[in-house]
Structure 1
Amino acid sequence: MAREYSLDNIRAFHAQVSIANWDKPGEIMRYAFLRMPEFFHHAVIERDGPVSVLASEPDDALPGTRVRTPLGEMALDAYVQRGPVNGVVIVRNGVVVYERYPRMRPNDRHLLMSVSKVFASALVAIFEDRGLLDTALGIETYLPEVSASGWAGVSIRDVLDMASGIDCDQTLPDVYTNSDRAYYRFEESLDWLPPVHPPVAHWEYLAELGRAKQPGLAFDYSSANTAMLAWLVEKISGKGLADLISAELWGRIGAEGDALITISSHGATAIHGGISARLRDVARFGLLFTPSWQVVSDTPIVSERHLAAIQHGGRPEIFDKGATGQRIIDQLAPATPRHNSYQWDFVMPDGDFYKGGYGGQGLYISPSRDLVIAFTGTNDADGNESGMMSIAQQISARSG
C-alpha cells in the first residue's frame, strides 16, 4: 500500500507542480493525480443513500495468473507490484475477487482521465431512453449555438462514436505544447494548459470549431466530442453536469464517497478527463453494465437498449480509420477488437468493452462473464504507461 505523504513531501511537490507539468510522467504525476483538489477547482459529484456492500472473496488463483505484459510474461501480482500501476479492483459476479493498492490508498480519489468520458455517454443514453433526445438528429437540433460551426449536421451518434469529423485532432504529437493547435486551445479553455490566448468560455470555443472531414468516416479520437455531449445534456436538463452525474448515476450506486470533477473559471466541467473517484466506486459504476447491477442499485440504470448499442451498434468499418483504433489493435494483438461505441474505446467480438484514460486508467467490462476490472496508474519517470488494458482483456478471456 502507498505510503502517506509527509509534510516535507507535500511542500516539495507543491514547489515543483505547475499547470505546465502536473500530468508529466513520474512522481509529480502520481501526486497530482491523487490530490487534484490541491491544484484545480472542483465541483462535487455527491453520493447519496446507504453504501452498497461489495462482498470480498479473493480468488487465490488470480495473483499467480500468467499474463503478457510490457515487462514480459509474468504473474498478475508481480506486474501489479512492478509496473506503473496504482490500484486494481476485479469484481466477478458482484463480488470483489482481487484488490491491490501498490501505490495509492483504498480511499484515495484518483484522477480517472478519459474514463470520465463514459459518464457523459451514460447520461446521453439515459436521456435517449426517456425520449428527451434522438441520437440520429444533428447535434445543432438541441444546441443551436453551434449551427454555424463544424458541428452543424453532425449526428449525436457520430459525436458519441468519435466520428464527428471535427477539426480538433487530439492525436497529434504536439497538441499539448503547440498553442496554435485546436486541441491546445480546447484544454486551455478548461484551465488545463498554460494560458496563451485571451480567455474564452469553453462552450464558446466549442462553437468556433470547424470541420476536418465528413462525419461518420473514421474513429478520430477527440475529447471535443465528449464536451459536446456534456453541453447537450446540460442544455436539455438545465442542470450542471456534476449535479446530473450525481442524480442519475453516482447518487444511485451506493458509492462510498463523493466524486469530484475539475471546473474552469467560467464554470465548465472537464468531463473529458477530470473526474476523480475511489477505485471501488468506479467498479460500482461498472457493475451497472453487468448482470450484477442489483448489487449497487435497486433499479436498472443501464438499459438493455443502451447495452445493445454499445455491444452491437458500432461500426467496424471506421474503427481502424484513425490513429487511435490502429493503436488499440496493435496493443491488444493477438486479440482483435471489433469497434468503438458510445465513447467506449473498443468492443470485443464477445461483447466485452473498455474505456481507458491517460496514465493507465481503465474500466473493462464483460457482461457475459459478469466481470468488471477497474484500475488506475501513472506513467513512470521514463514515460511508460501500464499494460493493464491488454492484461484485463487476457483475464476476461480466461474467465470462461
Structure 2
Amino acid sequence: MKTKFKIRHAACLIASTLMAGVAKAESPLEKALAQPGAKPTIPVTQVKEGFSKQFIDQANASFGNFHMQMGGDHALYYAVNMSKYIPAELAMPHGEVSVLKRNIDESLNDLTFTMGDGTESVSLNDYIHDEKTRVQGIMILKGGEVVYEAYPGMHPSDTHVWASVSKSAVGTILTMLEVEGKVDMSKPITEYVPELKGTKWDSVIMLDAMNMASGLDISENAANTLNPNSVFQRMLSADFNVENAQGVIEDEMKVLRDVESLEGEPSGKFARYSSTITKVLGVAIENITQQPFTQVFEDRIWSKVGARASAQINLSPAGHALAYGLFNSRLDDLARYGLLFTPSWNKVSEEQVVSQQVLEKMQKGGNHEAYLAGDFTDHSWVKAAFGKDMPIYNTHQWDAAWEDGALFKHGNLYQNLYVDPERDVVGVAFSTSPVYLTPDLIPGYLREAAKQLSDQ
C-alpha cells in the first residue's frame, strides 16, 4: 500500500524514536533495528498459527521496552503475552458476560474515506489485510450491536496490549472523582502526589496535567526519546526495572522529581504528548482513593461491563500500575468498555457508569489554542486519517475530540478506541505495526464508519 504521508511524530511511549530522518549512524534506533526479531518479517497471521519454541526462546531473551516498541516479529508475541514479562494485577469481571449481538453490515468491507492529502483510501477490507498495516483485530458497533469485525492477526480469545488507549481510563476515573468532589482540577498536581512536592511539578495544575499541557520537559519528542538521560527515558527504565545509561536501576518516583520546565512554556499553553504525565496521574488516583489503581479500575469500570475476561494491568517495581500504556484485554472487552461512553451503555451494564456530567466534562474540557500550539497535530495518524475533519483539541487524556462530541484515543503500535456518543458508534482495533512502515489509517475508517452508519 502506498501513502504520501511522511512520519513526523509518534504519539505513545517511545514510538517517536521511529520518526523519519531522525536516526543517524550508530543511533539507538539503528542498533535496535539490527537485533533479531526487531523488524517485521513474518505476517500477523503467525499469531494465530503459533510460534516455535526457538522463536519464543529468542523473544524471551530479547525482551525490553525499546525492543518491544520496534513493532517487529518479537513484538507480535509480546503484544499478546505482555504479562509474561511484566508483573500484572487482574481487574476481574463480575456477574454474567454481557452479550454483544451481531448485525453484520457487509458493506463496511467497501468503506473508504478521504485521506489528509485529499486522495481516497483503499477499502477497509483491503487495508486490514494489507501486509504493511499489520492489523490484528477490529470491531465496530452501532447501537450496541457488532456491525463489523475481523481478526486478521489474532484469535478473538487473545488478550492484547492496549498501549496508550489505557490513558483514557485514567482520564475517565479522575473525571469521575472530580464530579464526586474528590478532586479539584484547579489545584496543583502535587496536592494529590505529595511525593513530588518541592519540584517543578508544583507549577502544574490538575486540569493542565489532564490535557498534557504541563510546561515540563517530558514530552515524547525525538530529543527526549533518543536521550537515555531524559526524565522520560529514565522513567521507562525504572518502570521496566532495567538499568539506566549509568548502569543503575533508579527509583521511579525519584526520577520524576528531576523534571525541568520548558523555557517560555507556562503550564496550560502547549499540549505536548507525555506518558510521564499519565504516570503521575495514575499515582494521584491511588493516593486519592487509597487503593491500588487496578482495584479502582475494577470497582468503577471493569466489574460493570460484563467483561468476558479479566483485564491485566502491568505494574512497576514499586507496585504502581503502568496505566499510561500497559493494560491487556480481549478486543470485545475493549469494545464493551467503549460502549460505556455511548447511549448503548445499557447493552453491557446495569448502571450508567460514565454519567452525562462526566462525559461532557471530557468532551468540553480541552483547549483549542494549546492543542494547535503543541505537538498533537504533528502525529502522523492525525494528518493521514482526519485531513479536513480535524479534531478541535485533545482532552482529559483523550488524543482527539470533535465538535460533535466524538472522542478518540490512539496507542503505540496502532491501537485504536473511537467513541461517538451522538451517533452511538464505537470502534476498536488492535495492531502491531511499526510507525515507520505507514501511518495508521484505522482512525479515519472508524470516524467515517460512524458517519455513514448514522446516515442509514
Instruction: Please indicate the TM-score interval, normalised by the length of the shorter structure.
Output: over 0.9
Partners in 2 of 1:20 and 1:317 — Cα distance? 33
The answer to whether the 8 Å contact 2:243/2:249 transfers is: no
**Are 1:47 and 2:78 matched, yes or no?**
no
**Are 1:207 and 2:257 matched, yes or no?**
yes
Partners in 2 of 1:337 and 1:202 — Cα distance? 34
**Are 1:57 and 2:103 matched, yes or no?**
yes
CA deviation after TM superposition for structure 1 residue 329, in Å: 4.8
CA deviations over 1:361-399 (Å, ceiling 9, x no partner):
010011011000000111159643532122212222323
Match of 1:11 in 2: 57
CA deviation after TM superposition for structure 1 residue 85, in Å: 0.7
TM-score for the superposition, normalised by structure 1? 0.93
Partners in 1 of 2:207 and 2:411 — Cα distance? 22
CA deviations over 1:164-187 (Å, ceiling 9, x no partner):
11221212x254442122211121
The aligned amino acid for 1:266 is A
Match of 1:357 among 388, 392, 411: 411
Partners in 1 of 2:306 and 2:427 — Cα distance? 18
**Are 1:310 and 2:310 matched, yes or no?**
no
Q: 3-state SS of the aligned residue for 1:53?
A: coil
TM-score for the superposition, normalised by structure 2? 0.82
Match of 1:115 in 2: 165
CA deviations over 1:85-136 (Å, ceiling 9, x no partner):
1110111100011111100111111111100101111110121122111112
Partners in 2 of 1:224 and 1:375 — Cα distance? 24
Partners in 1 of 2:66 and 2:196 — Cα distance? 30
Q: 3-state SS of the aligned residue for 2:68?
A: coil
Match of 1:278 in 2: 330
Match of 1:248 in 2: 300
CA deviation after TM superposition for structure 1 residue 41, in Å: 1.9
Match of 1:126 in 2: 176
Count of aligned pairs:
399
Within-5 A mapping of 1:1-400: 2-68=48-114, 73-82=121-130, 83-171=133-221, 173-191=222-240, 195-197=244-246, 198-212=248-262, 213-327=265-379, 329-331=382-384, 332-379=386-433, 383-399=437-453, 400=455
Give the 3 Å change call, closer, same or farther, for CA 143–251 of structure 1 in structure 2: same
The answer to whether the 8 Å contact 1:354/1:365 transfers is: yes
The aligned amino acid for 1:182 is V
The aligned amino acid for 2:127 is Y
CA deviations over 1:16-72 (Å, ceiling 9, x no partner):
444541221322111111111222222222222211111111012111223457996
Q: 3-state SS of the aligned residue for 1:158?
A: helix
Q: Which runs of 5+ in 2 are unaligned?
A: 1-44
The answer to whether the 8 Å contact 1:142/1:232 transfers is: yes
CA RMSD of aligned residues (A): 2.1
Give the 3 Å change call, closer, same or farther, for CA 193–396 of structure 1 in structure 2: farther
Q: Identical aligned pairs, as a percentage? A: 27
CA deviation after TM superposition for structure 1 residue 79, in Å: 0.9
